[in-house]
């Protein structure tokens, strides 16, 4: 969470860091949770720049439907692992 918050703060002034924050979210495995927690914390602190960055990332992900793809990929991997375990026993 701290790494993501730091990236969001830096992304207020650097577009490359905005991309890194996006990649960090996608690779974390907890993207929805990180994004929701960061939004709650930014609302408490009233950081307008961070809220804007989070909104941009969320809109981009929503447009790209990355969360749905990640969930589908994880489900497929879990099914494959379960199938391999069944075949191995």
CA nearest to 50, candidates 8, 21, 15: 8
pLDDT at 66: 61
* Listed residue (65, 70, 61) closest to 35, CA to CA: 61
The predicted pLDDT at position 67 comes to 62
Helix (H) or strand (E) holding 59: helix 48-64
Query: What is the reported pLDDT for 49?
Result: 82
Q: What is the pLDDT of residues 67-85, one digit of tens each?
A: 666 667 677 777 777 777 7
Written as tens digits, the pLDDT of the chain (89 aa) is 888 888 898 988 888 888 899 889 888 888 888 888 888 887 665 577 888 888 888 888 777 766 666 667 677 777 777 777 777 76
CA distance 76 to 81: 9
């Amino acid at each position: 969470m701290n790494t993501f918050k730091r990236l969001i703060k830096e992304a207020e002034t650097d577009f490359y860091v905005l991309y890194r924050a996006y990649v960090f979210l996608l690779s974390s495995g907890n993207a929805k949770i990180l994004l929701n927690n960061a939004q709650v914390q930014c609302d408490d602190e009233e950081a307008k720049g961070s809220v804007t960055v989070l909104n941009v990332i969320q809109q981009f992900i929503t447009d790209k439907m990355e969360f749905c793809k990640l969930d589908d990929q994880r489900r497929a991997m879990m099914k494959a692992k379960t199938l391999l375990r069944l075949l191995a026993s």
